[in-house]
Structure 1
């Protein structure tokens, strides 16, 4: 007993879902990255501006305090008693007493480098007990601004020397700000922005997830539809929504492409079936006659050879027309060059006269007119129309070739007085392997008019069908038919 090995494959739908989710995650990741980067830049810039504004405010406040001290002591008298200051200590005590310190601000007074006075406001650390700070500000001889790294962080200060006439003491008044504490508001605002930014990023990620899902839905539908299409079933289509944006246009374009592919595949199948049928018939006829031919009877052999020659000629015409129709799909099918239209029509009539005994004629008003045409293809189309007219007429019927130039187009016509084209046949006779019901012969493959339509399309034109030159007049066999090649004469 043999065991057939089995393999487990992941369903295509799961793979498609994973791929779609991967794209969805990438979109969300990029959106989240952009949001976080934007929030980071905004938060950093806002925090920097807030810190700079706080520093400028502290420096301005320090200058204001010193200006107030200068104005208070400029007279040299104690504002409470009106008596002159007797010592530097008195000056410092008065200045610190009359100036109210703001939060995170501190006033200190030094005499001969030794701390003597300070404002009453609480401070994170005692600068008065810091010998390094005293050594920094105590000896200054000119107004000095600076920054000091204390145990509580940065301290921004402005130290001004104080002297009194007749007193040997050298004092220093210091206005100081605990900068890190003063900047706490900016730091808290930055932290709040970070928190709000985090919430915003989460909301943006959630929104991006749903938006990406909606955006990628048509893409998933395209992939699902592509997987649903097989060699034998091309009917699957992408569900079309109400969206008119780029995705809606994509869905419409893909569905239109699938329609063309399905129509082309169906036409190809019909073409192959019809071609096989048309070629199989003469082959069957030839084989049937060869099977019953009597090699000893010269007359029977001659008849068989004649029949085989006729059927081979018929197959040759079918193959030639099929090759023309195949080349019609190529861009080099038509090669135009300046062509004398009137001369082309007269030359084609001379060639058509050999097709059958008919009353051939030319009716042209394009004398001397030159248009960009592929003369060989146009001649081929007119001869095919002439041959078609022969098939629908009898001896003595008229077949007229004509040419006119009107409205920027060249009209090349083949008219006859034959049986005409039935209304039921007019919409289908230009299809491949289609035959009209009024034909006097059955050896055609139904490709002639399809070739004519292909040649007209190659010149950016068309074929029109109307009644012929008979129109039931006395002495004429029928209304006839007129096939007209309508070609823009500027076509290249």
Structure 2
């Protein structure tokens, strides 16, 4: 049972959480896409339907006016077109007008005399307007032309009523042309319904397409999640698969950025591991020496105490130097390690030469000076060349020749240190650049074997390299080669070594 006051937190499994997160993101994408498509289709359907309805209404109104105009011509002439004789009654006028004018579908002609229905066209209608007392009261007794809209049992009716009179007939007639508007608009409504049905099908197709597109868009994000969950403190090598992307592709840029971040993390962790491994490997020996001497120390023997203290002090100095070198190598992989600035190579070479001549009684020579400007870190270059000169002095006997030179070739500046020491065997030329490694010259250096590793780190931080030209018995030439304008080192490039 959990301790009192403790909280139980239920967490869902990683695959379930990932699926839920991606499904939510995918649902949002699909939802917004469908909302936009639905809005566009709704606006298109509504606008099309309204324009079509207005066109139908305009045609109905034009047709009503045209019919009434025909009726007007007939009454104005006063002649029955069937007999050629003059009309004798209003009722006769209405009968001829309704008989000779063929009503269109959904159109109806109705005649009234003294407010009473007398004639109507033969076309079938949804309702009999002649039997509708409200409509009859509305139009049967008008004394001036009247048009309007009436809501019948069959829906909207658009009508135009015109009075009919004859000089020889005191009775008053009315002829009405009416359209059943809802039925006339049925074709337009059917088209709108078809558009809505097609829109629904389009929505389904868009949803399916959006589902697949959203899945492809979110796939790199899923890969990022999977990769991030698969990375452990012991395995940092996993990278996100790079999709085929074009310039400006945000997802591709995200993947590149995350992969670059993972490279930096892996390099940083690797540097830490190397530092810990190297420190543990190399510090174990002096610690063991100090512990061994302290265990057998005789406190009552002053001489033994003095010798032990001297030995411990010497080992501590060596350990301090070793840790400082390891820290320097660790910092060499950081961007702030290098501080490049415009530098006069000739003045820098001469300043370095003045410093190295105090390293020992050797035949120091300044062979060549490159009179050229460059953008580099003068302090780091000085540190590297002095380390090479110190390394040469250790392996060159007193009176032996050690030469310094600098050269400019195209876009590269070279600093060379040549000694007349024992040289380096071919099988040792790569190994001496590894950390804590030393050449097989027969003499053991007092250093920790990190000198050439530091030199390589400095050259690499400039975007350059260190080369070695040597033959056993004929000395060695180390060259620090850097660009005229210092370039950042390649990510993941590490330096190691020692002679």
TM range, smaller chain: 0.7 to 0.9
1:417 counterpart residue number: 420
**1:40 equivalent among 39, 42, 53:** 42
2-side partners of 1:44 and 1:428: how far apart?
81
**1:350 equivalent among 354, 364, 388:** 354
Residue 252 of structure 1: how far off its partner (Å): 6.5
Q: Where do residues 90-129 of structure 1 align in structure 2 (5 Å cutoff)?
A: 90-129=92-131
1:225 counterpart residue number: 227
**2:68 equivalent among 66, 82, 87:** 66
Alpha-carbon displacement from aligned partner over 1:34-66 (angstroms, at most 9, x marks no partner): 333233222222222221222122122222222
Task: Tell me, yes or no, if the aligned pair for 2:349 and 2:369 is still in contact at 8 Å.
Answer: no
Using the TM superposition, name which of 402-411 and 354-363 deviates more.
Answer: 402-411
2-side partners of 1:116 and 1:350: how far apart?
132
Alpha-carbon displacement from aligned partner over 1:166-211 (angstroms, at most 9, x marks no partner): 4444433221111111112222222233233333333433443344
**1:153 equivalent among 152, 155, 179:** 155
Q: Where do residues 55-454 of structure 1 align in structure 2 (5 Å cutoff)?
A: 55-236=57-238, 240=241, 244=245, 254=258, 257-258=261-262, 261-262=265-266, 264-293=268-297, 300-301=304-305, 303-367=307-371, 369-427=372-430, 429-438=432-441, 440-454=443-457
The 1:232/1:170 distance shift into structure 2, 3 A limit, reads same
**1:467 equivalent among 459, 466, 469:** 469
Residue 301 of structure 1: how far off its partner (Å): 4.9
2-side partners of 1:263 and 1:337: how far apart?
26
Where does structure 1 lack aligned partners over 5 or more consecutive residues? Answer: none
1:480 counterpart residue number: 476
SS in 1 for 2:384: helix
2-side partners of 1:146 and 1:416: how far apart?
116
**TM-score (structure 1 length as normaliser):** 0.85
Residue 151 of structure 1: how far off its partner (Å): 2.2
The 1:130/1:375 distance shift into structure 2, 3 A limit, reads same
The 1:86/1:394 distance shift into structure 2, 3 A limit, reads farther
Residue 260 of structure 1: how far off its partner (Å): 5.3
Task: Tell me, yes or no, if the aligned pair for 1:465 and 1:484 is still in contact at 8 Å.
Answer: yes
2:28 counterpart residue number: 26
The 1:56/1:449 distance shift into structure 2, 3 A limit, reads farther
The 1:95/1:287 distance shift into structure 2, 3 A limit, reads same
1-side partners of 2:262 and 2:373: how far apart?
42
2-side partners of 1:358 and 1:174: how far apart?
130
Task: Tell me, yes or no, if the aligned pair for 1:13 and 1:224 is still in contact at 8 Å.
Answer: no
Query: How many residues were matched structurally?
Result: 482
SS in 1 for 2:337: coil
The 1:208/1:489 distance shift into structure 2, 3 A limit, reads closer
Task: Tell me, yes or no, if the aligned pair for 1:393 and 1:440 is still in contact at 8 Å.
Answer: no
Residue 91 of structure 1: how far off its partner (Å): 2.0
1-side partners of 2:266 and 2:13: how far apart?
26
Residue 24 of structure 1: how far off its partner (Å): 3.1
2-side partners of 1:34 and 1:204: how far apart?
11
2:18 counterpart residue number: 16
Residue 79 of structure 1: how far off its partner (Å): 0.9
Using the TM superposition, name which of 177-186 and 243-252 deviates more.
Answer: 243-252
Residue 248 of structure 1: how far off its partner (Å): 6.5
Using the TM superposition, name which of 386-395 and 346-355 deviates more.
Answer: 386-395
1-side partners of 2:162 and 2:437: how far apart?
113
2-side partners of 1:191 and 1:279: how far apart?
86
SS in 1 for 2:443: coil
The 1:384/1:143 distance shift into structure 2, 3 A limit, reads farther
Where does structure 2 lack aligned partners over 5 or more consecutive residues? Answer: 489-499
2-side partners of 1:351 and 1:439: how far apart?
27
SS in 1 for 2:393: helix
The 1:168/1:265 distance shift into structure 2, 3 A limit, reads same
Task: Tell me, yes or no, if the aligned pair for 1:456 and 1:487 is still in contact at 8 Å.
Answer: no
The 1:72/1:42 distance shift into structure 2, 3 A limit, reads same
CA RMSD of aligned residues (A): 3.4
The 1:210/1:422 distance shift into structure 2, 3 A limit, reads same
**TM-score (structure 2 length as normaliser):** 0.84
SS in 2 for 1:163: strand
The 1:259/1:3 distance shift into structure 2, 3 A limit, reads closer
Task: Tell me, yes or no, if the aligned pair for 2:108 and 2:120 is still in contact at 8 Å.
Answer: yes
1-side partners of 2:298 and 2:34: how far apart?
90
The 1:480/1:453 distance shift into structure 2, 3 A limit, reads closer
